[in-house]
Amino acid sequence: MSCLVPLLTDAGQGVEAQIKPQLTGFFGAVIRSYLPQRWVFQTEEGAATLNVDAHGAVTVLAGAQPQPDVTVRIGHAKLAAALTHRRAGGLPPGPVDVKAHTPKGQTAFDFARRRLGL
């Protein structure tokens, strides 16, 4: 098994810690309108799916789960560096191919891209 699931799980804990406190009040209603989210990350070492449910809880599953909001194809080293350092500068070379499958996925990815270091 690749380190993709634990890598995304670690990053997901940070995402959950940021999202859950923001789900109250007016701004929380705006955020909740973009949940749930399902993002598939594909690297040369495999695939994993990061899910954020309607309550902000994050889970990561091995493999590409059906009906993602976003699919991200990226080199494993680049993804590991981005999620570990959470900044785009200094990443290994290589493309990041992002395919938004839903409008809410596109909006959420545009918002979270820098926070993920991509």
Q: Shortest CA distance to 59 belongs to which of 67, 50, 70?
A: 50
**Residue spans of beta strands (DSSP E) within the chain:** 37-43, 46-52, 58-62, 70-74, 96-100
Write down the pLDDT at residue 42: 97
Write down the pLDDT at residue 103: 96
Token code pair at residue 99:
């395919």
Q: Containing H/E element for 71?
A: strand 70-74
**pLDDT, tens digit, 9 for 90 and up, residues 46-60:** 999 999 999 999 999
**Mean pLDDT of the region 20-49:** 94
Domain range 4-112, CATH class? alpha beta
**pLDDT, tens digit, 9 for 90 and up, residues 39-90:** 999 999 999 999 999 999 999 999 999 999 999 999 998 898 888 876 556 6
**Rounded to two decimals, what is the model's pTM?**
0.89
Report DSSP state, residue 91. P
**pLDDT, tens digit, 9 for 90 and up, residues 85-117:** 765 566 677 788 999 999 999 999 988 877 777
